Amino acid sequence: MHRTLFFLIIGILVFVIAIASFSWGIGVGLNQNDEAAFTGFTQLFGATGTWLAAIGTLGTVVTALYLANEARIQNTEILKY
């Protein structure tokens, strides 16, 4: 039970980090104001946010698949008895 809860919390954290990184990257990437502090780094931040979002999404998918497999194993063991 504790292991499942741990992986669920990790999956949620990865998802939240992915959304925040993606939003941050897009927000900075779309800022084309010449007076902005991040003018020279807009493409870098946009790409970084996109890559972090992709990694976070993959982590979320792997965590969801793991939790689904654990639930399937537990349900199969219950049906054996």
Domain boundaries, the chain: 2-80
Rg (CA), the chain: 19
Dihedral sign, Cα of residue 15, residue 19, residue 20, residue 21? positive
The reported pTM is 0.46
Going residue by residue through the chain (81 aa), what tens digit of pLDDT does each one get? 677 788 888 888 887 787 777 777 666 666 666 555 555 566 666 777 777 778 888 888 988 999 999 898 888 877 776
- How many helices and strands, by DSSP H and E, does the chain display? 2, 0
The burial class, CB within 10 Å (0-12 / 13-18 / 19+), for 43 is: exposed
- Residue 34 phi, psi (nearest 5): -65, -20
